[in-house]
């Protein structure tokens, strides 16, 4: 699905991370966390082939579904929700031919994110949360084997966050899609996550949530004392340097 | 008014200008199609700059006795590719355009000042000269249009993807940068054609206004494209037909029709958007968003 071997990325003299080896298996849900500027988005870009690694290799199966960060869309963009999802299906193909069953697949993808009734609305008039659900449908419509999510929950209300994460989880269980999920907040994905990759201060740690989310591990990553507390199945982290956090 | 409109002998006039009408229809078609991407990629300013360099190329050709269409094509494609290569980011692009535009216009003015031929030729390059479309010129126009049309059909879908969401398109393996260059060449060809017909100063009415108007009334990509073509053909051919009975050049007619279509579409669109946002707000699944 996805394999990084001794991967490293640097901008000039600034090393984001190095010696990163990670293998994501089919159906596995891996969350990527870390401070701002720790290279989470660069990791996603490297996996997509949009950014060259400065060390090591990355191997990916064909068929990546990509859910980017929420971004405002121009109000007048001449696309409806159904057209945006359609681009995930055949937007990369040359010519004008359309495959059979296209409409049905688009409808199914929109239904799966509770957005069937938005199909005919211009993408520009939808709220941020609605646009993001449409983007998830766009990423899933072609049936990818690896789903890359880059902060897809940012700016979503709690209900939409649950809808999106539950949908991603169902997808990997039913279709064996591997999931790499970049997020700055562990709690929304806590019920689903198998392993965590935590990036901070040029270092990283890979393991299950109980292995990584300890005061000792995070303190070591950040280089300052960090306190991890679990309350009612929620993980609270205190003491992360503000300069590195949003 | 009798100076402006004399429709006596209109039939005979029509027979004389069928070349121009054909050229106008083809230009309206190609302009209507390409304007969809000009709007999606936010490039009206770039179009204006390309048309000034196209004007410089055409006036240079006029001065040196070369083929004017070829001169206009050269200037146009050079400008389009330069803008494409130097201005991949919006901010860079605007500064490259701001530098290129006066340079092109100045060069064109210089060539025309040195040119000793008919002054109607000079004026025509800036403000249009469609009634003068002769058969060789028409052949050039048709050949150029054919290239643009075929090119657009091939790249339409990935170009639309890359224009709407370059990151997502790149993630799906769309060659976003290469497509951008291809689009600039197609745009250059279209602008060079438009310069021949409506003149360098008025190109935007053919290559921007049609889709700008269409996007006000619908978000369906197919309907936008069809409307844009209808608006493009309607304003260019309509402008030619109206100008036949008058002493005024074709451009004011084309630009006025084009502008009126846009105004009507804005009014219709404002009503439509009010209805749409009401619908969206009343949907039960819609939850208020904190941050947008």
A151 touches chain B (CB under 8 A): no
Could you tell me which residues come within 8 angstroms of residue B2 by beta carbon, excluding any fewer than 6 positions away? Answer: none
The model's confidence at residue B221, banded by pLDDT at 50, 70 and 90, is very high
DSSP string, B229-254: HHHHHHHHHHHHHHHHTSSS-HHHHH
Residue A134 lies in a domain: yes
Contacts of B170 in chain A (CB under 8 A): 48, 50
**pLDDT in 10s for each residue of chain A, 246 residues:** 899 999 999 988 888 899 999 999 999 999 999 888 888 989 999 999 888 999 999 999 878 999 988 787 888 999 999 999 999 999 999 998 888 899 999 999 999 888 899 999 999 999 888 888 899 899 999 989 999 999 998 878 888 888 888 888 988 998 899 999 999 899 999 999 999 999 998 889 999 999 999 999 999 999 899 999 998 889 999 988 865 444
Question: How far A92 CA lies from chain B's nearest CA (Å)?
Answer: 5
Q: What does R_g of chain A's alpha carbons equal in angstroms?
A: 19
B214 touches chain A (CB under 8 A): yes
**Tens digit of each residue's pLDDT (9 = 90 or more) over B190-207:** 999 988 888 888 899 999
pLDDT at residue A189 in the model: 94
Residue range B98-103: mean pLDDT, rounded: 90
- The whole-model pTM stands at 0.87
- Domain of A1, CATH number, reads 3.40.50.300
Same domain, A123 and A178: no
pLDDT at residue B8 in the model: 66
* Closest-CA residue of chain A to B177: A50
Of A95, A122, A142, the one marking the end of a domain is: A142
Residue A120 lies in a domain: yes
Same domain, A132 and A150: no
pLDDT at residue B135 in the model: 76
Count of the separate structural domains present in chain A: 2
* Residue among B157, B289, B290 minimizing CB distance to A96: B157
B281 touches chain A (CB under 8 A): no
Residue A227 lies in a domain: no
Q: What is the ipTM of this complex?
A: 0.86
High-pLDDT (> 70) share of chain B, %: 86
Check CB contact under 8 Å for B160 and A48.
Answer: no
Side-chain-side CA neighbours of A25 within 13 Å: the count stands at 5
The model's confidence at residue B276, banded by pLDDT at 50, 70 and 90, is low
Residue A221 lies in a domain: no
Same domain, A14 and A119: no
A214 touches chain B (CB under 8 A): no
A52 touches chain B (CB under 8 A): no
Give me the phi and psi of B95, to 5 degrees please: -75, -40
* Residue among B158, B164, B286 minimizing CB distance to A94: B158
B273 pLDDT higher than 80: no
Same domain, A148 and A207: yes
pLDDT at residue A116 in the model: 93
pLDDT at residue B286 in the model: 39
pLDDT at residue B292 in the model: 33
Same domain, A148 and A52: yes
Residue range B227-249: mean pLDDT, rounded: 90
* Residue among B161, B220, B292 minimizing CB distance to A128: B292
Question: How far A88 CA lies from chain B's nearest CA (Å)?
Answer: 8
High-pLDDT (> 90) share of chain B, %: 53
User: CA dist B74 to B77, B106, B111, B150, B188, Å?
Assistant: 5, 17, 15, 20, 9
Same domain, A83 and A108: yes
Question: How far B196 CA lies from chain A's nearest CA (Å)?
Answer: 30
Residue A149 lies in a domain: yes
Check CB contact under 8 Å for A88 and B168.
Answer: yes
Could you tell me which residues come within 8 angstroms of residue B159 by beta carbon, excluding any fewer than 6 positions away? Answer: B37, B152, B179, B182, B183
Check CB contact under 8 Å for B36 and A78.
Answer: yes
Residue A232 lies in a domain: no
Least confident of A32-41, B46-55, B125-134: B125-134
pLDDT at residue B278 in the model: 54
pLDDT at residue A246 in the model: 40
The model's confidence at residue B287, banded by pLDDT at 50, 70 and 90, is very low
Least confident of B7-16, B75-84, B167-176: B7-16
DSSP string, A153-211: TTT--HHHHHHHHHHHHHHHHHH--EEEEE-S-SGGGTTT-SEEEEEETTEEEEE-HHH
pLDDT at residue B275 in the model: 66
Contacts of B276 in chain A (CB under 8 A): 121-122, 125
Same domain, A152 and A44: yes
Same domain, A166 and A185: yes
Same domain, A177 and A119: no
Same domain, A173 and A205: yes
Same domain, A135 and A149: no
| Domain that residue A108 falls in | 77-142
A96 touches chain B (CB under 8 A): yes
Same domain, A59 and A149: yes
**Tens digit of each residue's pLDDT (9 = 90 or more) over B138-158:** 888 899 999 999 999 999 999
Check CB contact under 8 Å for B279 and A121.
Answer: yes
* Closest-CA residue of chain B to A120: B220
The model's confidence at residue B284, banded by pLDDT at 50, 70 and 90, is very low
Check CB contact under 8 Å for B292 and A127.
Answer: yes
pLDDT at residue A141 in the model: 93
B275 touches chain A (CB under 8 A): no
The model's confidence at residue B118, banded by pLDDT at 50, 70 and 90, is confident
Q: Which domains does chain B possess?
A: 10-291 (1.10.3470.10)
A127 touches chain B (CB under 8 A): yes
What span, in angstroms and rounded, lies between the C-alpha atoms of A28 and A14? 31
pLDDT at residue A33 in the model: 95
The model's confidence at residue B40, banded by pLDDT at 50, 70 and 90, is very high
Q: Which of B162, B219, B281 to mutate to test the interface with A (most CBs of A within 10 A)?
A: B219
Residue range B247-260: mean pLDDT, rounded: 89
Contacts of A148 in chain B (CB under 8 A): 171
């Amino acid at each position: 699905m996805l394999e990084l071997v001794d991967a490293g990325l640097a901008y000039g003299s600034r090393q984001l991370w190095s010696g990163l080896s990670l293998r994501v298996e089919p159906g596995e849900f891996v969350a990527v966390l870390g401070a701002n500027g720790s290279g989470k988005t660069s990791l996603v870009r490297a996996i997509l082939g949009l950014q060259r690694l400065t060390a090591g290799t990355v191997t990916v199966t064909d068929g990546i579904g990509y859910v980017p960060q929420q971004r405002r869309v121009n109000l007048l963009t001449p696309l409806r929700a159904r057209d945006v999802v359609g681009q995930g299906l055949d937007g990369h193909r040359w010519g004008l031919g359309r495959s059979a069953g296209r409409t049905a697949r688009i409808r199914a993808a929109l239904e799966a994110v509770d957005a069937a009734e938005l199909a005919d609305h211009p993408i520009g008039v939808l709220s941020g949360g609605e646009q993001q659900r449409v983007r998830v449908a766009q990423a899933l419509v072609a049936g990818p084997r690896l789903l890359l999510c880059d902060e897809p929950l940012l700016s979503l209300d709690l209900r939409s966050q649950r809808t999106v994460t539950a949908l991603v989880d169902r997808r990997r269980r039913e279709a064996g899609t591997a999931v790499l999920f970049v997020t700055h907040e562990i709690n929304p994905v806590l019920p689903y996550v198998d392993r965590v990759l935590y990036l901070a201060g040029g270092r990283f740690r890979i393991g299950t949530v109980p292995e990584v989310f300890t005061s000792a591990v995070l303190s070591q990553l950040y280089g300052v004392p960090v306190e991890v507390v679990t309350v009612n199945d929620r993980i609270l982290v205190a003491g992360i340097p503000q300069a590195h956090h949003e | 008014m009798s100076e402006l409109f004399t429709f006596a002998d209109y039939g005979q006039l029509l027979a004389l200008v069928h070349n121009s009408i054909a050229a106008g229809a083809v230009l309206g078609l190609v302009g209507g199609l390409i304007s969809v991407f000009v709007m999606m990629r936010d490039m009206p300013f770039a179009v204006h700059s390309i048309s000034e360099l196209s004007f410089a190329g055409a006036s240079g050709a006029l001065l040196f006795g070369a083929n004017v269409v070829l001169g206009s094509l050269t200037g146009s494609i050079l400008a389009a590719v330069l803008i494409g290569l130097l201005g991949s980011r919006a901010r860079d692009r605007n500064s490259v355009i701001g530098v290129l535009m006066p340079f092109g216009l100045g060069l064109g003015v210089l060539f025309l000042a040195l040119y000793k031929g008919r002054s109607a030729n000079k004026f025509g390059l800036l403000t249009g000269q469609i009634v003068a479309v002769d058969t060789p010129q028409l052949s050039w126009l048709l050949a150029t249009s054919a290239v643009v049309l075929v090119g657009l059909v091939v790249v339409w879908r990935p170009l639309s993807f890359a224009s709407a969401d370059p990151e997502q398109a790149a993630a799906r393996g769309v060659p976003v940068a290469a497509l951008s260059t291809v689009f600039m060449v197609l745009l250059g060809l279209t602008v060079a054609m438009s310069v021949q017909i409506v003149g360098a100063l008025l190109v935007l009415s053919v290559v921007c206004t049609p889709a700008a108007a269409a996007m006000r009334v619908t978000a369906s990509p197919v309907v936008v494209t069809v409307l844009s073509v209808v608006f493009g053909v309607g304003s260019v051919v309509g402008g030619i037909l109206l100008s036949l009975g008058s002493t005024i050049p074709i451009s004011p007619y084309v630009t006025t029709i084009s502008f009126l279509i846009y105004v009507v579409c804005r009014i219709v669109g404002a009503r439509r958007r009010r209805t749409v946002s009401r619908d969206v707000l009343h949907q039960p699944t819609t939850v208020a968003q904190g941050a947008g």
